[in-house]
Amino acid sequence: MLCKVDEIHTFLGKSHILNGVSLEIKKGEIIALLGRNGVGKSTTMKSIMGLTPPQKGSIQFKGEEIAGLRPYKVCRMGIGYVPEERRIFSNLTVRQNLLIGIKPKQQVAEPWSIEKVYNFFPQLAKRDRQKGGYLSGGEQQMLTVARTLMGNPELILADEPTEGLSPILVRAIIQILRQTNDQGHSIFIVAQALDVALSLTSKVYVMSKGEIVFRGTGAQLEADGEIRSKYLEV
């Protein structure tokens, strides 16, 4: 098991956001966490990353306990984070943004480099010297994913990676995530759109009010109209 989240409880101030959340991510797979806005999906991801540490429960990565570790330590262990807000440096060029993603003294068999990233993201290669703030929304999302890859993570946490993008760019990001998975990276995505999640993975979790209310395959979720109607459809 690459990552195991076991019965975590996370609070924001006095608000009990996550109430006993458990999920598992195996090496080489893509899983999705679905649910409406405000149910705790992003908090689940941030709890793994150490941005909102859980008060109770366990989070293990490659068999080591990481619950409560500072985000930079979680990152150094091999987890990358693609935040919903993207958080690129708008005053830095595309190349400078990518260089920031490098982890010092990291040793991996086939590390990502600027050249490898540009082969993977030819659109970014064309923007090499352009500042991040002048990129389109789709290009900024590509840059965020690419910057994460520069850290050579084994597991990528992607929070709403297609939110707010046009259908064409949604398809492009989905294809990029598939190819990233083919390169050996496990992926955990948070999404509201069922079609996006099912196009990427066969294993899904559904969350409501800080709890997991469904876990199974994409086919099982598609067949369960009650779950979709109650927890996913607007």
User: Could you tell me the pTM of the whole model?
Assistant: 0.92
- In the sheet that 186-191 helps form, which strands lie side by side, from edge to edge? 79-82, 155-159, 186-191, 30-34, 203-208, 211-217
Amino acid at residue number 134: Y
What region does 63 belong to: left with phi over 0, alpha with psi -120 to 50, or beta?
A: left
**β-strand pairing of 30-34 with 186-191:** parallel
Q: Residue 30 maps to which CATH number?
A: 3.40.50.300
Which of the two residues, 169 and 128, has the higher pLDDT score?
A: 128
Mean pLDDT of 85-90: 90
Per residue in 4-39, pLDDT tens? 999 999 999 999 999 999 999 999 999 999 999 999
Residue 196 has pLDDT above 90, yes or no: no
Our CA angle for 92, 139, 96, nearest 5°, is 25
Which residues fall within 8 angstroms of residue 102, CB to CB, at 6 or more apart?
150, 151
Mean pLDDT of 122-134: 95
Structural domain count, the chain: 1
Which of the two residues, 170 and 57, has the higher pLDDT score?
A: 57
Q: How far is CA 37 from the centre of its chain?
A: 16
Residue 170 has pLDDT above 90, yes or no: no
Residue 105 has pLDDT above 80, yes or no: no
pLDDT of residue 65: 98
pLDDT of residue 42: 96
Mean pLDDT of 69-88: 92
Look up the domain containing 53 and give its range.
3-231
Per residue in 137-150, pLDDT tens? 889 999 999 999 99
pLDDT of residue 104: 74
pLDDT of residue 19: 97
Which of 33, 82, 18 is CA-nearest to residue 192? 33
pLDDT of residue 233: 83
How much is the mean pLDDT over the chain? 93
Mean pLDDT of 58-72: 96
Question: What are the φ/ψ torsions at residue 6 (nearest 5 degrees)?
Answer: -130, 105
